[in-house]
Structure 1
Amino acid sequence: MTGIDLGLLASLFAIFIYVFIKHVISAQYKVYLFFHFFMMIWPVGQIGVHTTEQPHLQIAYITLSFVGLSMLGFGWLLFAKFLVSGSYYKPNRSTVLLLLAPSILLSAAMIWNPSHAFVAPVHGSYEERVYGPVFWSMILLLITYFVYSVQLLWRKARLLSDRTDKARLVNALAGIIIVFALPVVDLTVNVILDPWLPVIPGITSFGILLSDIFFLTSLQKHRSFDLVRIAQQDVVDTLSVGIIVLDEHDVVIEVNRNVCPKLGIALWKPINLTAILSAHALQPEAGEAFLLEFRGHASKRLHTELAIELPNEPKQYLSLHTAPILIGGSLKGRVITLQDITELKSHVLKSQEQNNSLQERNRALIYMQDELFQANRKLEQMAVTDSLTGCFNRRFLMQQLEHEVQTNLRYRIPFAILLFDIDLFKHVNDNYGHLVGDEVIKRTAEAVRGALRRTDILARYGGEEFTVYLPHTSKEQAEMLAQRIREVVESNEIPAGRGRAPISVTISMGMHVVEEQTDIQIADVKSYLRDLFTKIDTALYRAKHNGRNRVVNH
């Protein structure tokens, strides 16, 4: 018996070391390692039980094994929630405590073992033992964790259309079933049927090892952790300059690790350039001129220099550059770069004889600015999407439609535009809060995106309102697609969290199809689109007025 459990423990430990050394420890890998740690507790306890004949040590090892097993239920539930919700899932403290509390209470009861309510020895030894109500309560808790975890994974897997994502959840589902099923077999054979069947060792340990392989496969083969986000952040952090990205309201939405902490830049807060330049501008007049240009000329690239001097620290010089992010001539944000030029500035101030070195460094700085200019072009692409849903934003849609509509009318190509919003969305915010409301908007967009064709364009029009552009689409095809979108949204279930029942929402939709065209000449395409959306909005209003959850064709 000891040899089997010892071999399985060695295998689990080897997997633990492999994951810890070979992988980037993202949020999901942290949960996995937490889960894996409790997996290793069971064979440790089993080995201890069979290597001692002292009852007080035997009961300690038995308690250790089952405490680990009870915590394992919480571990696989948390792991399932991360797989279902994605790598950015961050449970709050109250949720974790609520899920963990039953395991902690039962663990305390097993450690205390009042009146042998957990386990009692047979003939003074725990080699053979009788289990009490605390043990069976622990079994019932594990069943509860198992059912809830399987339900989460199965429901999410049914909603996914991507085969890779579905396979990832199915792998994890198989692992949870195995880690639950084999202990049930162990319980049946070695506890319930113990008087009639011989003891079969290592069943639970083998199940833990086998399930661990499934969980690790789910993480590695199907890439359930967010490599893209990690890679993007690593690329930004490896640049030798500090980078700050602002939105159109000058709120900091991204900052890399090379930004000087002395400047007090905080993520998701407005940047206070007035305070920064007042305290650190190398030349006060240049700082004031920079602020005037920054506020009055949105499309200009600007440059100034900072000098940061603190007590008992050497003076640091920074070159500050700002570049606008423009889409369609409209300012959508700014990129601020901070280059440490302390050494360069020191050379200039000390001696004019080092002018050649200064020019060479300036050329390097210009080259770096060119690299950052290319990065700005990529950031402009990011600005055409909605941050919550990942759909295109309204601005991109209208720019695209201006070109598409002119082409369609010129060559008499049929097309359709749908406008829909979520019915009674205010009730969702009022009853569940804005975080759940945001999740409803996000999940609704995902469901609609899955029902569209590759050539269709889905855009967030505003709030809970979305627009779909259907190119090369007849009236019959548009009506069929609109109904399919409505049905997909109606059948979509969205988790509400905190033990609440999932939310189901419906949408009301207005539609307009341009199919049989004459040779139309458009003088102002923007005016044409405004009229078009007025018609569609009227159809949407009629859909809501007629009872919601329906499609009305203008």
Structure 2
Amino acid sequence: MGFMGIFALFLYSLSFITQAGTAFFSFLLAIKSPTRYKWGWLFLCLGLTLMLGRRISPIFSILETNHFNMTDAILSLTISASLLIGTIGIHKLMSQVNTENQLMSILSQLDPLTNCLSRTETLYQLSNEIKRSQRTKKPFAVLELDIDHFKLINDEHGHNIGDEVLHSLATYIRSLLRSNDHFGRVGGEEFIIILPDTDEQQAKIIAERIREQVERKVDYSLSSVKPIQLTISIGICIAEITGSITAINDFCKVLIKQADEAMYRAKNNGRNQVAF
């Protein structure tokens, strides 16, 4: 076998390896793609795998007969390399899209100012807690808290300081909660806390502890000239589910409405207190 034959054998061998790599990346694309598109990538992977026979037959031909076609060898490698580069490009694109989708999913779950749960995610977690409570027959508590006289903070210090106070308060309250509690922002200065497996007595203890700790904290702003202290009013609603609930969304609204009414009762009774 002369030099050209060896070179053609090398090209065909490299083409075979490249084609195998393309089939492998196609298989990875099938794994990462949505279910409704998997069949397309699987068929592409199958086709590329079957084409390996077209890449290996010239290798046997050269070894057995010393017959080769240099033009076909060059085209074979060029086609296989192009397919591999294109497939790798699509694989990287899909990986980037999946990463961005995951990031968007995470961001959609969080309130951008306070980094606690968004209103939509809070309602979703509340619906999950309702379903869980139906199974376990254990009560849970919904707390709605509101910053007392928050408008005065915005008027006196500006909205930038007000946003800083909201972020600081949310971070502080989150540090006071249990790992399985859910804490979300549902309005301007209104927040919802979902306490799983919590009865009336436990909810009152937790709510009073949060209220007292918030009042004791010296300052909620790093930018204001003078320290900003806060008090909060908390309304509590206890959910004890004994029967079956079909309209979960409607029941979520009822619980939040009752917690909201309890919170306004705390406001009307003088603020900086807890009410059921």
The alignment's TM-score, normalised by the length of structure 1, stands at: 0.34
Decide whether the 8 Å contact of 1:391 with 1:445 is kept in 2.
Answer: yes
2:83 to 359, 366, 374: 359
Q: Can you list the C-alpha shifts for 1:168-217, whole angstroms capped at 9, x where unaligned?
A: xxxxxxxxxxxxxxxxxxxxxxxxxxxxxxxxxxxxxxxxxxxxxxxxxx
Match of 2:93 in 1: 369
- Relative to total residues, which structure has the larger helix share, 1 or 2? 2
Q: CA deviation at 1:378?
A: 2.9
The reply to whether residue 466 of structure 1 matches residue 191 of structure 2 is yes
Q: How does 1:243-392 map to 2 (within 5 A)?
A: 358-379=82-103, 380-392=105-117
Cα distance between partner residues in 2 of 1:498 and 1:435: 9
Deviation of 1:395 after TM superposition, in Å, equals 1.3
Residues 511 and 540 in structure 1, CA contact (< 8 A), matched pair in contact too: yes
SS at match of 1:416: strand
State the shift of 1:377 in Å. 4.2
CA distance in 1, matches of 2:246, 2:204: 30
Taking a change above 3 Å as real, the CA distance of residues 417 and 498 of structure 1, as seen in their structure-2 partners, is closer
How many residue pairs get matched? 199
Query: How far off its partner does 1:499 sit?
Result: 7.0
Relative to structure 1, is the Cα distance of residues 366 and 528 closer, same or farther in structure 2, using a 3 angstrom cutoff? same
Shift of 1:493: 2.3
Is 2:174 the partner of 1:437? no
Whole-angstrom distance in 2 between the partners of 1:499 and 1:438: 12
What is aligned with 1:82?
Answer: none
Rounded to whole Å, the distance in 2 between the matches of 1:527 and 1:458 is 20
Match 2:257 to one of 534, 542, 549:
534
SS state of the match for residue 482, structure 1? Answer: helix
The C-alpha deviation readout for 1:393-429, integer Å capped at 9, x for no partner, is 1211111221220220233111100001111111101
3-state SS of paired residue (2:98): helix
Q: CA deviation at 1:498?
A: 6.4
Structure 2 distance, partners of 1:498, 1:409, is 46
Q: CA RMSD in A?
A: 2.1
The answer to whether structure 1 residue 487 and structure 2 residue 212 are counterparts is yes
Unaligned segments of structure 1, at least 5 residues: 1-353
Which residue in 1 is equivalent to 2:129? 404
1:522 partnered with 2:245: yes
Greater RCO between the two (CA within 8 Å, min separation 6)? Answer: 2
C-alpha separation in 1, matches of 2:216 and 2:93: 50
Deviation of the 1:364 alpha carbon: 1.8
Check if 1:394 corresponds to 2:122: no
Partner amino acid, structure 1, of 2:131 = Q
CA distance in 1 between counterparts of 2:146 and 2:220 reads 20
Runs of 4 or more off by more than 6 Å in structure 1?
A: none
> What is the letter of the counterpart of residue 177 of structure 2?
L
In structure 2, how many angstroms separate the alpha carbons of the residues matched to 1:389 and 1:541?
23
After TM superposition, give the deviation of residue 486 of structure 1 in Å.
0.6
Partner Cα separation in structure 2 for residue 498 and residue 385 of structure 1: 24
**Residue of structure 2 aligned with 1:547, choices 267, 270, 273:** 270
Between the aligned residues of both structures, percent identity stands at 36
User: Are the aligned partners of 2:220 and 2:229 in contact in 1 as well (CA < 8 Å)?
Assistant: no
For 2:102, the aligned partner's letter is: K
Which structure 2 residues correspond to residues 85-234 of structure 1 after superposition, within 5 A? none
- Alpha-carbon offset, residue 549 of structure 1: 0.8
Residue 109 of structure 2 aligns to a residue in which SS? coil
Mapped to 1, the partners of 2:255 and 2:187 lie a distance apart of: 17
Q: How big is the shift at 1:500?
A: 2.3
Tell me which protein shows more strand as a share of its residues. 1
Partner Cα distance (2:86, 2:219) in 1? 55
Structure 1 contact 456–468 (Cα < 8 Å) conserved: yes
1:17-32 map, 5 Å: none
Give 3-state SS (helix, strand or coil) of 1:494's partner: coil
2:65 is matched with: none
The answer to whether the Cα contact below 8 Å between 1:420 and 1:540 also exists between their aligned partners in 2 is yes
1:423 corresponding residue in structure 2: 148
Query: How many Å separate the matches in 1 of 2:213 and 2:251?
Result: 31
User: Residues 399 and 365 (structure 1 numbering): CA distance in 2 closer, same or farther, change over 3 Å?
Assistant: same
Partner of 2:202: 477
TM-score, structure 2 normalization:
0.67
Segments of 5+ residues of structure 2 without an aligned counterpart are 1-77
Post-superposition offset of 1:478: 0.4
Structure 1 match to 2:177: 452
Give the distance between the partners of 2:223 and 2:193, measured in 1 at CA: 33
AA at the equivalent of 2:139: P
Q: Any conservation in 2 of the 1:432–1:496 contact (CA below 8 Å)?
A: no
- The amino acid across from 2:268 in the alignment is H
Name the aligned partner's letter for residue 542 of structure 1.
R
Distance 1:502 1:372, change over 3 A: same
Instruction: Measure, in 1, the Cα distance between the counterparts of 2:113 and 2:95.
Output: 29
Distance 2:223 2:198 in 1: 43
How far does residue 494 in structure 1 lie from its aligned partner after superposition?
2.2
Contact 1:423 1:549 in 2 (8 A): yes
Partner in structure 2 of residue 208 of structure 1: none
**Alpha carbons 1:416, 1:475 under 8 Å: kept:** yes
